[in-house]
């Protein structure tokens, strides 16, 4: 088979240049796809962290809103008697405490990956709060709960992600005689 003078092909230099350009485009696309995947993992981690924290805060809200009496309350722990009796018919004291990156409710893990937990006991129910460091059954009107949770290390040098959640609870204290 003979090649005519009017038929032209690609030279070796043109082929190598095309392959080099194609390689650079593929490398840029791969880096972009890696960034998209890292962002996806980070956003699902943030969502999971927010959902777990919201469930824990909802549980704390119900527990602390319907307490009968607080026997001890500090900035990282509160011990109280619940308003409602359990199956055994006894109002045993319940303790909510922060220890070793966990928020515990009577020794059971309520929330993990906790970086910080603070309870503030407010003497007024307005926005000024006037916090005290301990609970007083006679004067405390609002319990302000602040939880800082951490997610997984997202890589890329940004470190462990964290987010702070806050809620205010007005307990309805019932004293039993």
| Cβ atoms within 10 Å of 6's Cβ, excluding its own | 5
In a domain, residue 2? The reply is no
**Confidence class for position 1, pLDDT limits 50, 70, 90:** low
What value does the mean pLDDT take over residues 69-91?
A: 82
CB distance 97 to 76 below 8 Å: yes
pLDDT at position 131 is: 76
In a domain, residue 6? The reply is no
How many structural domains comprise the chain? 1
| Cβ atoms within 10 Å of 164's Cβ, excluding its own | 12
Determine if the pTM surpasses 0.75: no
Write out the residue range of the structural domain in which residue 136 sits.
Answer: 12-169
Pairwise CA distance, residues 79 & 86, whole Å: 16
In a domain, residue 64? The reply is yes
């Amino acid at each position: 088979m003979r090649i005519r003078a009017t038929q032209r092909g690609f030279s070796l230099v043109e082929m190598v240049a095309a392959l080099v350009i194609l390689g650079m485009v593929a490398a840029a696309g791969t880096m972009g796809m890696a960034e998209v995947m890292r962002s996806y993992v980070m956003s699902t981690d943030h969502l999971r962290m927010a959902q777990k924290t919201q469930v824990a805060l909802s549980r704390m809200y119900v527990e602390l809103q319907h307490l009968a009496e607080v026997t001890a309350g500090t900035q990282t722990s509160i011990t109280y008697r619940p308003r409602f009796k359990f199956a055994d018919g006894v109002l045993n004291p319940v303790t909510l405490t922060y220890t070793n990156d966990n928020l515990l409710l009577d020794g059971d893990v309520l929330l993990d990956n906790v970086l910080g937990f603070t309870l503030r006991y407010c003497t007024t129910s307005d926005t000024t709060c006037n916090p005290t460091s301990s609970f007083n059954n006679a004067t405390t009107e609002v319990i302000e709960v602040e939880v800082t949770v951490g997610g997984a290390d997202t890589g890329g040098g940004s470190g462990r992600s964290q987010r702070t959640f806050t809620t205010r609870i007005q307990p309805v204290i019932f004293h039993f005689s």
